[in-house]
Amino acid sequence: MRIALIAHDKKKDDMVEFIVKNKKAFENEELFATGTTGKLIQEATGLKVHRFLSGPYGGDQQIGGLVAQGDIDMVIFLRDPLTAQPHEPDVTALLRICDVHSVPLATNLGTAELFLKSLRDKIF
């Protein structure tokens, strides 16, 4: 399973905690991430993560490109709904391209937990 992991700044602690807590479920998966999110996950878990540019510098678009090509199976994107992002158009484009290609997209921890259960149950 090729999983993209992305978190806005105020959600990065939640993302790292989520991956650390569930490291076993993620260690056999292929992980991709925007720059800073990926760095923090790597440092906290030692998991191998393919890192792209930081979100505001094009990382969301790079991951969106992979989604469009059919190279990502699942996206966990912990968005910050309370803070304006300078690269909002890129964020919207990534959400849109997931919908275009019916790629499962979790934008909060509640849905991410459901994805995790699906991973454990090998539903995907």
* Interaction between residue 108 and ligand 13P (CB under 6 A): no
DSSP symbol at 123: -
CB 99 within 8 A of CB 105: yes
- Report, as residue numbers or ranges, the catalytic residues: 60
Q: How far is the CB of 61 from ligand 13P (least distance, A)?
A: 10
Does the protein bind ligand 13P through residue 60 (CB under 6 A)? yes
Question: Smaller CB distance to ligand 13P: residue 70 or 89?
Answer: 89
Q: Which residue is nearest to ligand 13P (CB)?
A: 55
Both tokens assigned to 107: 């934008």
Q: CB count, 10 Å around CB of 54? A: 16
Nearest-10 crossing angle of helices 35-45, 12-21: 40
| 3-state SS, residue 101 | coil
Nearer to ligand 13P (CB atom), residue 54 or residue 111: 54
User: Which of 38, 116 has the CB closer to ligand 13P?
Assistant: 38
**Residues in touch with ligand 13P (CB under 6 A):** 6, 8, 34-37, 54-56, 59-60, 91
